[in-house]
Structure 1
């Protein structure tokens, strides 16, 4: 019973469990490089206090992200109800995932375009909600003075990694919806 509940509540992040070589590039490598570059630029140009305080850079970015969940949920609804046969075809070089149907696990289940896009946009929705909560909680946490500077920079790096992941995957999802889905290949 408990494992079914955990399974069901973690399905919105199941996008991260897809098995596909390109996933590592879009999910982690590109966001990691962008996070490192942007952190280095911020480190060289700004004091960390101006980045992490109320109305600082991260607070402003969180304000932008706050509006995303509504749009992403609308995208989920649109993808779920698209009425084109091509969306229910298996993808070429399809990513695979392990799924549970009742008490049976199905290994390496291939995804249709609809499955893939639903998992991607569900993950983006959860990630955007998490990022907003992450920033709001971090803004009220007070660290001891001895580790405050390191803790603030660690927060900046963590936020930027997830922020860049959100943007990269959002751009990839829009590319897939706008171009790949209409190619019928």
Structure 2
């Protein structure tokens, strides 16, 4: 049951020899997250993270509306009537082990455009839901944790949480841009 519930994250296990997905999924988001943390550290004064007008509240206002859009995109891609969507991608296609009859296939399969985009938008949907739940939960418990932890522990915990949250946020943004590029341009380009 756990494997089925975590399958939307399978997008992160897609492999391709060009390493573009690794750059889009990990390098750019990590760099943006580290840059944001570093810039926040350099700015004079303390940046409000968990307050009612803090960064987390502002990101939450943006992210909480995204799952509906991602689900609509997923439905559109899944039902788009175009025979080119169901052919293996040209050149060396990205690969992924899929779940079949409750078990992962022993060998990865070559992805079609439809499967790539469906896996991508499933990931984006779950990422936006996780970001929303993380923000709501942390905004709720941050004042309590701040009172319970000594300052020496609260500051590093806040930094680690902020880094992980920003990593997932920038990852969602990068994959969204990649998906929009693919739907808007690449999907319609002849093989």
Q: Same fold (TM over 0.5)?
A: yes
Aligned residue in 2 for 1:155: 161
For the pair 1:121 / 2:121, whether they are aligned, the reply is: yes
**Worse overlay, 39-48 or 89-98:** 39-48
Does structure 1 conserve the Cα–Cα contact (< 8 Å) formed by 2:97 and 2:104?
no
Instruction: Give 1:87's match in structure 2, choosing from 82, 85, 88.
Output: 85
The 3-state SS of whatever aligns with 2:97 is strand
How far the C-alpha of 1:110 sits from its partner, in A, is 0.6
How far the C-alpha of 1:101 sits from its partner, in A, is 2.2
Write 1 or 2 for the structure with the bigger share of helix.
Answer: 1
TM-score, normalising length from structure 1? 0.91
Aligned residue in 2 for 1:8: 4
**Worse overlay, 155-164 or 40-49:** 40-49
Does structure 1 conserve the Cα–Cα contact (< 8 Å) formed by 2:67 and 2:128?
yes
In structure 2, relative to structure 1, the CA distance for the partners of 1:48 and 1:150 (3 Å cut) is farther
Alpha-carbon distance in structure 2 between the residues aligned to 1:98 and 1:54 = 43
How far the C-alpha of 1:7 sits from its partner, in A, is 2.6
**Worse overlay, 148-157 or 71-80:** 148-157
How far the C-alpha of 1:151 sits from its partner, in A, is 1.2
Alpha-carbon distance in structure 2 between the residues aligned to 1:153 and 1:13 = 25
Unaligned runs of 5+ in 1: none
Does structure 2 conserve the Cα–Cα contact (< 8 Å) formed by 1:100 and 1:106?
no
Aligned residue in 2 for 1:134: 134
Aligned residue in 2 for 1:67: 65
Aligned residue in 2 for 1:176: 182
TM-score, normalising length from structure 2? 0.88
In angstroms, what is the RMSD of aligned CA positions? 1.6
Alpha-carbon distance in structure 2 between the residues aligned to 1:79 and 1:169 = 16
Alpha-carbon distance in structure 1 between the residues aligned to 2:133 and 2:104 = 35
CA deviation profile, 1:83-125 (whole Å, cap 9, x unmatched)? 1111112113211111232257241211000000000000000
